[in-house]
Amino acid sequence: MIMKSSNVVWHQSTVTRQNRQEQNGHLSAILWFTGLSGAGKSTLAHAVEDALCKMNCRTFVIDGDNIRHGLCADLGFSSEDRVENIRRIGEVAKLFTEAGIIVLSAFISPFRADRDRVRELVPEGDFIEIYCQASLEVCEGRDVKGLYKKARSGEIPNFTGISSPYESPEEPEIIVKTGEDSLEACAQQVIEFLQVRGIVQPTSA
């Protein structure tokens, strides 16, 4: 765009995603962690981020902690609001990829259609769906936040896995067995995928 003032011409410059990726030494992508409450999505996302940070990558985790009281503070848990919640998270994740960052999103995101909508929002290959597979028994057994207990007693309605369905991914890029494997092993599995895909550089062993 050229903008003509009285006597000066203003040119619009652009720093591209490509520029940023070169600056960072890695590609950007969305790592979309999905699974039941208590499956370990957020903990795994932070562990992967920690490993990537040690490899000098630029990363950011979006999860309930920084989204629910901020960007999506106006949304409740109705079906409509849950769709809008995931839509906004997808749009924010997209902005982060444009900024050259590996963004890790950790939300139950129980519905296939919502996740697929985010996948379609970005260029092919940018959306990496990571299914955090843990049985309801394991998740409910952990019940870190006491939510399952409240869901069973009816105090929390529409709780995924109890009173609302979880639609597991049909063709996720990665399945991590967060109900069985160690955090370290799960994180390593994600890092290796990113290396094979060429998103980050292989680590010198």
Nearer of residues 81 and 154 to a second copy, judged by Cβ: 81
Name the DSSP class of 62. E
Concatenated DSSP letters of 99-111 = TT-EEEEE-----
Q: Shortest Cβ distance from residue 136 to a second copy (Å)?
A: 14
Check: CB of residue 189 under 8 Å from CB of residue 176. Answer: yes
How many CB atoms are located within 10 Å of the residue 102 CB? 26
Q: Kindly tell me which residue out of 34, 42, 85, 133 binds a second copy, with binding defined by CB under 8 A.
A: 42
Residue 13 engages a second copy in binding (rule: CB under 8 A)? yes
Identify whether 109 is a catalytic site residue. Answer: yes
Q: Kindly tell me which residue out of 30, 47, 118, 130 binds a second copy, with binding defined by CB under 8 A.
A: 47
Nearer of residues 97 and 109 to a second copy, judged by Cβ: 97
Residue 71 engages a second copy in binding (rule: CB under 8 A)? yes
Range 138-176 burial, b when 16+ CB lie within 10 A, else e: bbbeeeeeebbeebeeeebeebbbbebebeebeebbbeb
Residue 58 engages a second copy in binding (rule: CB under 8 A)? yes
Q: Shortest Cβ distance from residue 130 to a second copy (Å)?
A: 16
Task: Single out the segment in contact with a second copy by CB under 8 A; choices: 137-145, 148-156, 167-175, 189-197.
Answer: 137-145
Catalytic residue among 109, 153, 163, 204: 109
Cα 34–chain centre separation: 8
Q: Kindly tell me which residue out of 25, 76, 79, 144 binds a second copy, with binding defined by CB under 8 A.
A: 144
Check: CB of residue 27 under 8 Å from CB of residue 9. Answer: no
**Token pair listed for 124:** 């092919």
Q: How far apart, in whole angstroms, are the C-alpha atoms of residue 128 and residue 32?
A: 6
Q: How far apart, in whole angstroms, are the C-alpha atoms of residue 38 and residue 146?
A: 10
Reduced to 3 states (helix: H, G, I; strand: E, B; else coil), residue 19 is: helix
Q: Shortest Cβ distance from residue 68 to a second copy (Å)?
A: 11
Q: Kindly tell me which residue out of 68, 77, 79, 91 binds a second copy, with binding defined by CB under 8 A.
A: 91
Binding footprint of a second copy on the chain (CB under 8 A): 1, 3-6, 8, 10-15, 19-20, 23, 38, 40, 42-44, 46-47, 49-50, 53, 56, 58-62, 66, 70-71, 74, 84, 88, 91-92, 94-96, 98-101, 138, 142, 144, 178-183
Among all residues, which ones are annotated catalytic? 109
